[in-house]
A and B are shown apart, each in its own frame.
Chain A
Amino acid sequence: MALHLNLLHEEISQQRQRQRDPLKIGMMVLGAIGTLMILYYMWNAYKTLEIRNRFSAIQHDWSKVEPKVTSAQKRSAELNGIISTIKVLDGMIDSRFYWAPFLEKLSRCVALNAQVTSVDGTVLEDNKGVSVMIEGLAAGREPRAAAEELRQLLLEQLGQSYREVKVEFKTLEDLDTLVKIGGDNMAMARFGLSVTFTTAPSTAKAAPAPAPERVRAPKP
């Protein structure tokens, strides 16, 4: 068997030592990992660029649509405002009390032997009811009966259009004065009627002007 003499033993050992240098190996590992990281980063950057392109396209679409949407939203808000305002205004219009039909009914109730000298009416808070004070004179053989007839007629007539109608005498007193009706002297009575009622929405509609034929000019 041939004898081999390794005369470069130390040099070879040093070379092996250098090859096993941990720093060198570490650097190589670091380099490999770094390369992988860069590749991963580039892949991510590519994906991000793709997303950015999509983003730009959608943003472009939105910028075209946005003014229309904004104006549509503004218009919708305006229309909703108008609708709600109209609802409230219509409610106010529908719930208001119409005096003309009331005056018409009153004029129809006043007989020839009665005379209204004063009407003072007030619509109560939030149109919940109406309160009217009617003063006048009644003449006849039984002037109190004439006043009562007016009260009954008012109750009946107003009851057809309004709810919770109350017609009550506040005052009813005989007067000493006589009045001549149809050539006969008649006794007179002064009356004060308190009328209260609430309005029925379905019937409280504006009516034509009152019929003037039965209305007589009141005396002072």
Chain B
Amino acid sequence: MKKLNLTKDQIQKLALSSMGFVVLLYVYFSFFLGPLNKSRDSMLATIDDLQRKVAGSKNEMMKATNLEQAAGAATTRFAALKALSPEGAPIAWFPPRMKIFFANQQIDKTTARLENSSPFREPELANWMRYTWSLDLPQTDFATTGKAIAVLENSEPLLSITHLNLHAVADDPQFQQVSLTAMTAIVKR
């Protein structure tokens, strides 16, 4: 094998060439090929992601359509229950509504007072508030009260009577006094 005899000058030149080669490799990979590959990889990842989203979107829209059909009854019912809470503060509309209701049931002089209001514990009812009312029917009779309560319970599904007190009026034996504590669920406005 032929021995390579290199002079000092040649060795220097070889070292210089090697350094140049290393620099070239560094520049090539760091500033040209590296960023290009990086950008390509990120684009490929985004393409995968978008393709998955586009494929999933069909399912998503189909699910929404199916849900819309399935929830038809629920949305109608929800709208009906929501419609039971008119705009405005409940203290403004609930007492007059009760007064009119009981007047229609031949019970006059009804008064309704707000006892308290509090949010529901259930997270599903975050947009609803619980109102407790005190209803006083100072002059009525048992049968009329019973009928009125039956109509009230059937016409106000979100109202539940938690306490009922019915007693005879001392001065007027033909009448009874009734006081009710009712809880209602009302949409926050």
Docked CA distance A44–B164 (Å): 84
| A interface residues, how many (CB within 8 angstroms) | 74
B63: chain A residues at CB < 8 Å are: 72, 76
A22 and B171 alpha carbons, distance in the complex (Å): 129
Does B77 touch A at the CB level, under 8 Å? yes
| Interface segment, one of B89-97, B107-115, B131-139, B150-158 | B150-158
The contact size tier of chain B is 35 or more
Query: When the two chains form the complex, which single residue of B53, B158, B163 contacts A122, counting CB atoms closer than 8 Å?
Result: B163
Given contacts A22-B10, A80-B67, A87-B124, contact A96 B185 (CB under 8 A): no
B160 close to A97 (CB less than 8 A): yes
Which secondary structure dominates chain B's binding surface? Answer: helix
Segment of A7-15, A53-61, A140-148, A156-164 engaged in the interface with chain B? A53-61
Q: Give the shortest distance, in Å, between B13 (CB) and chain A (any CB).
A: 4
Cα distance A68–B67 in the bound complex, in angstroms: 15
24 A–B pairs (Cβ distance < 8 Å), ordered by A: A22-B6, A23-B13, A23-B17, A40-B33, A41-B33, A44-B37, A44-B40, A51-B44, A52-B43, A55-B46, A73-B60, A79-B74, A84-B124, A85-B124, A86-B81, A87-B124, A89-B185, A93-B157, A103-B149, A118-B165, A119-B165, A127-B160, A219-B168, A220-B170
Q: Which residues of A contact B (CB under 8 A)?
A: 21-23, 26-27, 29-30, 33-34, 37, 40-41, 44-45, 47-48, 51-52, 54-55, 58-59, 61-62, 65-66, 68-69, 72-73, 75-76, 79-89, 92-93, 96-100, 103-104, 107, 116-123, 127, 206-212, 215, 217-220
